[in-house]
Structure 1
């Protein structure tokens, strides 16, 4: 009763499940159970599906099964198969499919550089609940989804209102799927639109994330059964680093400490860098409930001051976390690094450490910048020689990466929100990276590269972090963007990341540097997980993985498992393990990449909502902005430092503006005024919508500035402005 035999029977003729039992002469419960499990696996792998008559079928020619996902504005959809293939679906071919549905599609042609398909059938619905605004129309109501990827509104009958009032944000469960306006019942009233407390639940429901800190009962049962102290039996076969000066360096509010570091100067002049990573795989066993839940989540999600962890707090904040003064199990990598930043020798161990100090980026930066007060000197001054040695090694490693052409200077445009006592955003300040953040970044990159090189050199199955070379069309857009700003750079056909790094260094003092960085990031492909190693373009690295954060990333946990097997088998993997992981890793990589994307989108959404919340308290206020993008319908502008973007629509401007696509400028028909990328303007906030994450600005003309001065001079006077009729908006 094998998978192959079942497939052959279904290939011959579509069969009902009971017909399959008859063909296989399965009468016992155990036999039927095995068949059901095989069928479930085949359906999950996209090899078979059930048709409208509930018969099991194999895929026909040019047919695929995958998850459909709509773009942010719902204007296009893409289907991703389990093997990671991507198929474009235009709106006329989506049928009744909704965002996240599992669909059967047929390939019908090409769309740009992707296959183009049409939806034949929805096999399984992906969304069971929605979050949106409740609107009532006489006797019935509608839920208008906040997620613009969902391409329909939802009908609510009167008995399913659940006391919701028009305009409130609600959670609704889908009770009937129809091609137009599926029916829902309201299950929870989240709150009013402008209440800051509704933002987090909106994002959680929108992205189908688990409730923070909530895990299934069977997962918690396993977590609570794990001892909260390292057991003596756990130390068997481990290298003891407990007497070494090993420290953690993290953010002020961090609770889970994945990594700890140490640096020594060797007698030969080289450096010994120790990177000790929490041994999560010792506690999270393969195929356990903890493991299955961690795989499902894929990653921890960081939503400003709320964390949705991949593992329960009992593990992530305690027994797996490298807490100061506590014995902790680790996977320990010791690297000997020469004065050129090259790893000349390394060893990996199952280890045990006892962190000597929980340091923060802020405190280490103060020490290294000689900005210490007496209290801080007393607390961490004794670590000065160690930390200065870390800085010394960091500069050597970083220079090594600079020489090979890695892109070093891209900043994320991250901000910190300052909240008032009611939870409203009071201010937004940019997060600047200090020396300590760079130290940890460089040490982790070196560790990840070293671990990846072990498996790549032997051709063993592994999960890599890859970053493909950029799309030439996207680089052409970047080149054109720079030329419009008067910046000329040569972009060869086969581009090396060093060229981009040199460009960033040249633009170090440019007022639009951060906008250029953002466009550069958009020009590059997205880094993903893969079982095939194509290198990491941005890091200019031939081998790269994620080994350093197993508390919060599932791929790192897999890397640890493979590493343990490698060490146990004295530098290789068993044949059965090679076969097993060769089959498993493509799915793990694909799923982990998807979960990372979901986490990123949730984080971006909440951040953007909070930015709009801030600007909603500044409607009518004038800001200095830069033009970051120009379209035929207007100009996108950004408030520097706060990284808040909005639109100046052409309809709000003082003339009829014509879009010159070649030069990417707007030209006034009458005034001949030209607006181009990089221009600095004064613009007033005129509208903001937190749910659609949209902000509208209008240009403040000199006349408005004069009016402002007059009002300040004559506060009680009525000032009327007479406009020339020719200046009327068109």
Structure 2
């Protein structure tokens, strides 16, 4: 029975009357086990897509117009939740209307009104419980106890009966299995299945994040996946190379970080007789090894992306592929998807062609060494190792500057400095120091080339309207842009915001504020003002890059969408610049689900990476309790001041109760706290000294109190070894006020 037709018939039957499963079998004359299994599969699919619901009488029925199905996600504050529907829409749910739902449950909601620009709903039924385990702190209460979840989005604690405690001790971090979900009158129950350790032990941070986000254990793959990986060849055969464009005699090399082990992109460059540049971007041909619907492919789809947790990688593919046969290792023949792009001296792309290729990387370069070679202070050691590539690297620098200028002309805002930091650890595993990471010349160079490659590949499919997976970035939300404008106004930065926002406006903000002490925070606000970049089968362009069509093609070792793009490119090459009717139909059906899953898994990976970084930042500052730092005010609220130590990118709160020199009133109009008696004003952008008084690594919270010169002698007594610095200029200013 054709699945599409069967789905249509099932929907028609349910549309007429609510129906139980047995009645569906009879209506569709399904007698065989296989036919019934097919019907059940479609019913489950329709339920998960929110197209139908199953009521308390086990009847399948269509949704009323005022009903919706989606995954509920609570905010960290605990007072709001948002239901993500399968069609991409969002419904706001106040916590009092969330019933007994938990974070990530599949729920049925009734639309009851509007909340800001969203529909507002009330949870009327929990369709599927997603949370199976919880990670949290075990708190003993006599013979029983509770697990308080680490994830603030899980808005309840969990009861542990005496027999479910095991070897857990009070205050330890545990993993617990949910045995009973909450009811209107009882808390949910768990049994402890694993003790991760004491909460101050740095070794438990990684497992906490892995368990919290449901990630695979590092190094683990199912046996079938590992078996397929082990069966792959360790060397290329002549048969595999035949029919490919041979680039092995070309000067091609990789540029990556010092610790990288999976090299999925290589570059080469030359000048043509007409004065144009010929840039080659060669990407590992992962699709040659990972066949559609193989065990490797199914696992890669499920993971969606590799996850980078400081110095630990949870790869999308086993190491046999990611670190060897797919990796563009120096001196080894490797299969590639090779894109050649001809660029004129003005930075315009004038021609391009994609090939199934084979390369042999001449050198494994690092960003650090390339930056040093292209600087005025290059060591003899680096010169000796890579100076033979200096002509190509100088030419790449020229081209990078042309492309960068061209991008800026159209308003692209790629030049946002990352908030990436490097952690230095001591011999016991504690964070010893935090060093901000700055992008150098070579990082910007590779980024420019990869952006151009991704745009070029996307354009092949976009101009013909062929099915494709795009990387999209929608226009910013006007309400959030208003918050950005207000933030800039508070800092005294005047920027005109036209009614129809263009990336050039945001680019202007970056230019105006690049030397501002709060430039990192301004960039963060700017990023928050924009919607999250996603994968989609529909092309709506990429706002941030000011690009009409964009994709991810350059990292198939670590991103599933890139692997799918490679498969599409192989068909595109095979059919000489188009796709067959069969492939058009197949990919039109497949891509929406691939895009949705890839976006979701990317979001999980990002959150896990941010969580571990935040925990390590708090761990660092927890070893500096009592010390005084210069901080900038990054936010003002009724309950206090959000501040940041800029050199370490560590954020925290000065609670309003700690502003004890006066009674402070929040002025909503200009977003300030004003002293009623003294007239002192705290506003965004102010610089002050603050003492660290509390750091909660598990909850990722840091508390500060304001520091004044009057505290100096007291601090010296309480913390004789603390690094206390007093700025005399600051003293004079305070005395004047």
Q: Under TM normalisation by the shorter chain, which class is it?
A: over 0.9
Alignment of 1:191 onto 2:194: no
* CA distance 1:33–1:232, change in 2 (3 Å): farther
Alignment of 1:659 onto 2:663: no
| Alpha-carbon offset, residue 622 of structure 1 | 0.3
| Alpha-carbon offset, residue 515 of structure 1 | 1.4
Q: Which residue of 2 aligns with 1:689?
A: 696
* CA distance 1:27–1:503, change in 2 (3 Å): closer
* Contact kept in structure 2, 1:49 and 1:58, CA below 8 Å: yes
Q: Which residue of 2 aligns with 1:273?
A: 279
Alignment of 1:17 onto 2:21: yes
The 5 A counterparts of 1:567-586 are: 567-586=573-592
Residues in 1 aligned to 2:719 and 2:565: alpha-carbon distance in whole angstroms: 65
**Bigger Cα displacement from structure 2, 389-398 vs 287-296:** 287-296
* Contact kept in structure 2, 1:82 and 1:587, CA below 8 Å: no
Q: Which residue of 2 aligns with 1:321?
A: 327
* Contact kept in structure 2, 1:409 and 1:505, CA below 8 Å: no
Residues in 1 aligned to 2:411 and 2:303: alpha-carbon distance in whole angstroms: 35
Q: Which residue of 1 aligns with 2:683?
A: 676
Alignment of 1:498 onto 2:504: yes
Q: Which residue of 2 aligns with 1:368?
A: 374
| Alpha-carbon offset, residue 27 of structure 1 | 2.7
* CA distance 1:712–1:197, change in 2 (3 Å): closer
* Contact kept in structure 1, 2:138 and 2:145, CA below 8 Å: yes
Residues in 2 aligned to 1:88 and 1:711: alpha-carbon distance in whole angstroms: 48
Q: CA offsets, 1:141-198, max 9 Å, x none?
A: 1111010111111111111111111110000011111224211110000000100011
Partner of 2:279: helix, strand, or coil?
A: strand
1:335 to 341, 344, 352: 341
Partner of 1:443: helix, strand, or coil?
A: helix
The 5 A counterparts of 1:434-445 are: 434-445=440-451
Partner of 2:278: helix, strand, or coil?
A: strand
Partner of 1:228: helix, strand, or coil?
A: coil
Residues in 1 aligned to 2:70 and 2:496: alpha-carbon distance in whole angstroms: 40
Q: Which residue of 1 aligns with 2:80?
A: 76
Partner of 2:539: helix, strand, or coil?
A: coil
Q: CA offsets, 1:117-147, max 9 Å, x none?
A: 2222111111100100111112211111010
The 5 A counterparts of 1:425-440 are: 425-440=431-446
* CA distance 1:618–1:445, change in 2 (3 Å): same
Residues in 1 aligned to 2:583 and 2:49: alpha-carbon distance in whole angstroms: 21
Residues in 2 aligned to 1:30 and 1:448: alpha-carbon distance in whole angstroms: 44
Residues in 1 aligned to 2:533 and 2:327: alpha-carbon distance in whole angstroms: 27
1:297 to 300, 303, 306: 303
Residues in 2 aligned to 1:31 and 1:416: alpha-carbon distance in whole angstroms: 56
Q: Which residue of 2 aligns with 1:516?
A: 522
Alignment of 1:112 onto 2:116: yes
**Bigger Cα displacement from structure 2, 255-264 vs 510-519:** 510-519
| Alpha-carbon offset, residue 707 of structure 1 | 5.8
* Contact kept in structure 2, 1:547 and 1:560, CA below 8 Å: yes
The 5 A counterparts of 1:550-565 are: 550-565=556-571
- TM-score normalised to structure 1 length: 0.95
* CA distance 1:400–1:134, change in 2 (3 Å): same
Q: CA offsets, 1:464-523, max 9 Å, x none?
A: 111112122222222221222222121111122222222222222221111111111111
Q: CA offsets, 1:268-311, max 9 Å, x none?
A: 10000000011111111112222121111111111100111111
| Alpha-carbon offset, residue 712 of structure 1 | 12
* Contact kept in structure 2, 1:139 and 1:158, CA below 8 Å: yes
Residues in 2 aligned to 1:643 and 1:95: alpha-carbon distance in whole angstroms: 38
Q: Which residue of 1 aligns with 2:221?
A: 215
Q: Which residue of 1 aligns with 2:734?
A: none
**Bigger Cα displacement from structure 2, 44-53 vs 649-658:** 44-53
Q: Which residue of 1 aligns with 2:725?
A: none
Residues in 2 aligned to 1:45 and 1:484: alpha-carbon distance in whole angstroms: 45
- Equivalent pairs counted in the alignment come to 714
1:461 to 467, 474, 490: 467
Q: Which residue of 2 aligns with 1:257?
A: 263
Residues in 2 aligned to 1:541 and 1:99: alpha-carbon distance in whole angstroms: 35
Residues in 2 aligned to 1:38 and 1:503: alpha-carbon distance in whole angstroms: 50
* Contact kept in structure 1, 2:626 and 2:715, CA below 8 Å: no
* Contact kept in structure 2, 1:103 and 1:119, CA below 8 Å: yes
**Bigger Cα displacement from structure 2, 602-611 vs 370-379:** 370-379
Residues in 1 aligned to 2:195 and 2:274: alpha-carbon distance in whole angstroms: 67
| Alpha-carbon offset, residue 356 of structure 1 | 0.9
Residues in 2 aligned to 1:240 and 1:555: alpha-carbon distance in whole angstroms: 26
* Contact kept in structure 2, 1:203 and 1:602, CA below 8 Å: yes
| Alpha-carbon offset, residue 240 of structure 1 | 0.8
Alignment of 1:161 onto 2:165: yes
1:391 to 372, 397, 410: 397
Residues in 1 aligned to 2:657 and 2:711: alpha-carbon distance in whole angstroms: 18
2:38 to 34, 41, 44: 34
Partner of 2:684: helix, strand, or coil?
A: coil
- TM-score normalised to structure 2 length: 0.94
Alignment of 1:702 onto 2:706: no
**Bigger Cα displacement from structure 2, 521-530 vs 684-693:** 521-530
| Alpha-carbon offset, residue 61 of structure 1 | 2.8
Alignment of 1:62 onto 2:66: yes
Partner of 1:66: helix, strand, or coil?
A: strand
Q: Which residue of 1 aligns with 2:483?
A: 477
Residues in 2 aligned to 1:229 and 1:455: alpha-carbon distance in whole angstroms: 33
| Alpha-carbon offset, residue 94 of structure 1 | 1.5
Q: Which residue of 1 aligns with 2:729?
A: none
Unmatched runs of 5 consecutive residues or more in structure 1: 716-730
Q: CA offsets, 1:313-368, max 9 Å, x none?
A: 11111111111111111111000000111110000001111111111101111101
Residues in 2 aligned to 1:712 and 1:68: alpha-carbon distance in whole angstroms: 47
Q: Which residue of 2 aligns with 1:721?
A: none
Q: Which residue of 2 aligns with 1:727?
A: none
* CA distance 1:616–1:703, change in 2 (3 Å): same
Residues in 2 aligned to 1:17 and 1:235: alpha-carbon distance in whole angstroms: 53
2:409 to 403, 407, 419: 403
* Contact kept in structure 2, 1:467 and 1:538, CA below 8 Å: yes
The 5 A counterparts of 1:89-238 are: 89-179=93-183, 180-238=186-244
Residues in 1 aligned to 2:39 and 2:717: alpha-carbon distance in whole angstroms: 84
**Bigger Cα displacement from structure 2, 406-415 vs 540-549:** 406-415
Alignment of 1:536 onto 2:539: no
Q: CA offsets, 1:661-691, max 9 Å, x none?
A: 1111111111111111111101100111011
**Bigger Cα displacement from structure 2, 91-100 vs 498-507:** 498-507
Alignment of 1:51 onto 2:55: yes
Residues in 2 aligned to 1:711 and 1:322: alpha-carbon distance in whole angstroms: 56
* Contact kept in structure 2, 1:83 and 1:586, CA below 8 Å: no
Partner of 1:333: helix, strand, or coil?
A: strand
Residues in 2 aligned to 1:707 and 1:619: alpha-carbon distance in whole angstroms: 15
Residues in 1 aligned to 2:9 and 2:219: alpha-carbon distance in whole angstroms: 44
